[in-house]
Amino acid sequence: MIRKTFIAQSGGLLLSTLPLTTKPFHFLNNSANFENLKNQNSDSYRDEKYWNTVREMFNYSKDFINLENGYFSPAPISTENFYISKAKYINAKSSWFMRREQQTEMENTRKTLALFLNLIPDELAITRNTTESLNTIISGYPWKKGDEVIVGNQDYGSMIAAFEQQVKRSGIILKTAQIPMHPANDDEIVNSYISLITPKTRIIHLTHLINLSGQILPAKKIIDAAHNRGIEVILDAAHSVAHINFNLGDLEADYIGASLHKWLCCPLGVGFLAIKKKHIAKIYPLMGDNDFSIDDIRKFEHTGTKPMQTIIAINEAIKFHNAIGSELKEKRLSYLKNYWVQKIKNYPYISINTPVTDENRSCAIANFSVSNYTPQQVTEKLLSEHKIFTVAIEHPFINGVRVTPHLYNSTKELDKFVDAISMLK
Ligand SMILES: Cc1ncc(COP(=O)(O)O)c(C=O)c1O
């Protein structure tokens, strides 16, 4: 509270001593014509003319074919321009912006993002990424010695590392659900978690869409089963948000972390942490905060001076996403995955490490392996001989090459990729 009072006073001082008008600020020409994107019909997902329009809205590198959009997806030109303009504006106004405009921009962005995610603004903190969001929960949870946590065998490594740190610091016990690569049905996956529950289980840590294989887990069923047994759920939604078409609010997860520089195509370094109101007070923030009450979600945003242009750009990224729409985006991404998988899946030397036979179990991402080659050898060959960029996944549970197209990738690029794989036999 002390800091806020000081800011209010110094703001008053600024008002009386600084000129209120600065030179009009020129925003970069925003070339996007979102109206063109709204001309959709039931076949738009495979209308290459439509997707060529989309492709031209991205400033992607022409030096190689990028099929590794799972780490970070380029922002469309509209978002890139908006972001650069905001950075210039903030730089020009400097502390004036930070003291007098930052808070309004933050709250407006929070509201827009909450509406987009179907979450409640007062349960939503804007963070740098999923790692920060989920580490906040894992390190700030009031653990007691002997508390049990169930994680998945394909959860993201940094989250497992964060839990392992709590094993050492707080004496919690980790149990690992073995998620099958090709599940027969949802129950098999739900049971892999539920069968590990004991009276000491406090938390299930659940990855909604597994980054290694692209497998989508039946999150709602697992969350409901956990809640029926009084267990809270942390949802790692890094790869599901703005990728698959679902209602995040309906899942009712207790804690959610995601990165917006992946499928929402925001500039690098922005994500969110959502926490149900009833849990906020009991979680310690990563960095100490005296500005907000302990049940205020804003206590998690006290990470020092931040690049506000990155945060404000969320608004523009949502406009681009909404012009295409979640439904069509999911359909197109799924189509691109199926396009190459269908062509190579029956080659005798290929294994597909993603449950592609059920269309609800994956979307854009799939993983494959080639007999007689390590994943690393395949990715190196693809890059050096065909200028195709993918990533090798070498993990105790899954060894293969992850392929992640995005909206700006074309079927022609995928044809080149399929040709390259045909040469590997
Ligand atoms: C499932 C999953 N969780 C968390 C993360 C971490 O995301 P970030 O590096 O943006 O924090 C990733 C990154 O790829 C991921 O795939």
Between the CA of 138 and the centroid of ligand 1 the distance, in Å, is 15
* Residue 54: inside a domain: no
Task: For residues 163 and 278, state if they share a domain.
Answer: yes
* Residue 289: inside a domain: yes
Instruction: Say what the pLDDT of residue 38 is.
Output: 87
Any atom of ligand 1 within 6 Å of the Cβ of 211: yes
Between the CA of 262 and the centroid of ligand 1 the distance, in Å, is 9
Nearest atom in ligand 1 to the alpha carbon of residue 130 is 11
Any atom of ligand 1 within 6 Å of the Cβ of 154: no
- By most ligand atoms within 8 Å of CB, the mutation choice from 126, 211, 255 for ligand 1 is 211
Of 229, 205, 198, nearest to 219 by C-alpha is 205
* Residue 75: inside a domain: no
* Residue 69: inside a domain: no
Between the CA of 257 and the centroid of ligand 1 the distance, in Å, is 9
- By most ligand atoms within 8 Å of CB, the mutation choice from 131, 217, 268 for ligand 1 is 131
Task: For residues 263 and 358, state if they share a domain.
Answer: no
* Residue 34: inside a domain: no
Task: For residues 179 and 313, state if they share a domain.
Answer: yes
Among 288, 320, 352, give the residue marking a domain's end.
Answer: 320
Any atom of ligand 1 within 6 Å of the Cβ of 404: no
Instruction: Say what the pLDDT of residue 28 is.
Output: 53
Q: Is the pLDDT of residue 2 over 60?
A: no
Among 320, 355, 376, give the residue marking a domain's end.
Answer: 320
* Residue 108: inside a domain: yes
CATH classification at residue 375: 3.90.1150.10
Nearest CA to ligand 1 atom 14: 71
Cβ pair 213, 367 in contact under 8 A:
yes
Q: Is the pLDDT of residue 345 over 80?
A: yes
Q: How many domains does the chain have?
A: 2
Mean pLDDT of the region 392-419: 97
Instruction: Say what the pLDDT of residue 30 is.
Output: 56
Task: For residues 291 and 369, state if they share a domain.
Answer: no
Q: What is the layout of strands, in order, in the sheet containing 350-352?
A: 350-352, 366-370, 399-403, 391-394
Mean pLDDT of the region 321-344: 98
Mean pLDDT of the region 145-165: 98
Instruction: Say what the pLDDT of residue 39 is.
Output: 84
Dump pLDDT digits (tens) for 40-65.
899 999 999 999 999 999 999 999 99
Among 286, 320, 354, give the residue marking a domain's end.
Answer: 320
* Residue 92: inside a domain: no
Task: For residues 388 and 303, state if they share a domain.
Answer: no
Entry pTM:
0.93
Between the CA of 134 and the centroid of ligand 1 the distance, in Å, is 10
Rounded to whole angstroms, how far apart are CA atoms 376 and 373? 8
Task: For residues 361 and 385, state if they share a domain.
Answer: yes
Task: For residues 221 and 337, state if they share a domain.
Answer: no
Nearest atom in ligand 1 to the alpha carbon of residue 262 is 10
Dump pLDDT digits (tens) for 74-127.
999 999 999 999 999 999 999 999 999 999 999 999 999 999 999 999 999 999
Out of 26-30, 200-204, 371-375, which region has the weakest mean confidence (pLDDT)? Answer: 26-30
Out of 9-18, 158-167, 170-179, 264-273, which region has the weakest mean confidence (pLDDT)? Answer: 9-18
Share of the chain above pLDDT 70, in %: 92
Cβ pair 399, 154 in contact under 8 A:
no
Nearest atom in ligand 1 to the alpha carbon of residue 211 is 16
Nearest atom in ligand 1 to the alpha carbon of residue 133 is 11
Q: State the residue range of the domain holding 361.
A: 326-422
If you search the block for the tokens 């290694």, which residue do you land on? Answer: 212
CATH classification at residue 249: 3.40.640.10
Any atom of ligand 1 within 6 Å of the Cβ of 236: yes
- By most ligand atoms within 8 Å of CB, the mutation choice from 73, 127, 129, 130 for ligand 1 is 130
Average pLDDT, the chain: 93
Task: For residues 254 and 383, state if they share a domain.
Answer: no
Dump pLDDT digits (tens) for 169-214.
999 999 999 999 999 999 999 999 999 999 999 999 999 999 999 9
Alpha-carbon dihedral sign for residues 177, 395, 166, 136: negative
Q: Is the pLDDT of residue 3 over 70?
A: no
Alpha helices in 128-247 (DSSP H): 130-140, 157-170, 186-194, 219-228
Any atom of ligand 1 within 6 Å of the Cβ of 240: no
Query: Sorting pLDDT into bands at 50, 70 and 90, what band is 21?
Result: very low
Task: For residues 164 and 310, state if they share a domain.
Answer: yes
* Residue 255: inside a domain: yes
Task: For residues 312 and 340, state if they share a domain.
Answer: no
Give every CB contact of residue 405 below 8 A, 6+ residues apart in sequence: 67, 69, 333, 336, 337, 364, 413, 414
Burial of residue 230 (CB within 10 Å: 0-12, 13-18, 19+) is exposed
Task: For residues 334 and 186, state if they share a domain.
Answer: no
Task: For residues 222 and 367, state if they share a domain.
Answer: no
Share of the chain above pLDDT 90, in %: 90
Q: Pairing between strand 255-259 and 201-207?
A: unpaired
